[in-house]
Amino acid sequence: MKRVWVFMLTSVFLILKVIIIHGINSSNKRLLMNDPDVLHQLELKIQNLQNIVSQIQQNEHNKTYIGFHAELSNVLQNLPHDTIIVFDKVVTNDGGAYDSISGDFTVPEDGLYSFAWTTLTNPGHIFHTQLTVDGRVISKSHNNADSTHDGKTATKNVVVHLKKGNRVRIQTFQSYGHILVAGWSSFCGFKV
């Protein structure tokens, strides 16, 4: 989005510059360049646009990306209620906010965040999970392969406003944590 603004502002800047350099002469009216007040106003507008473009470019250059993707490397079975699921194989951890030892994502700065998690359960088993923020349940996922001959996946997506220091994690609920398959189960999130 910021790149679009930079492009648009740069285009406007170029158009204004052409107007100043070449002037406009319609129906034998005087050139804009001949009027010092109009010329000064256009120069001020160009300077303002240059400042805006420079600010956007600087903000984009200084932007810190926050995002992670972690997977489960071991099979988990028979987990009790409220057990934290630790996705221990980190694929991406920009900003370093995900902890592969505790399973917590600690929010580094206030903002809107998006999270998703996927679980694969073996045939004949159930695995219920929930995303919590500081112990408060935000959303739940129900993965039931109890009556099938194939494993089943469940994926849940959540968008939530968070404050710096909040801890986000995936936990079991209702004592249904029978089997969670490694390599197919993951947890990811990023600041929008």
Higher pLDDT, 142 or 16: 142
The most distant pair of C-alpha atoms in the chain lies apart, rounded to whole Å, by 87
Please provide the average confidence, as pLDDT, over all residues in the chain: 84
What are the pLDDT digits (tens) for 11-45?
Answer: 666 665 655 555 555 544 555 556 777 778 878 88
DSSP percent split of the chain into helix, strand, coil, nearest 5? 25, 40, 35
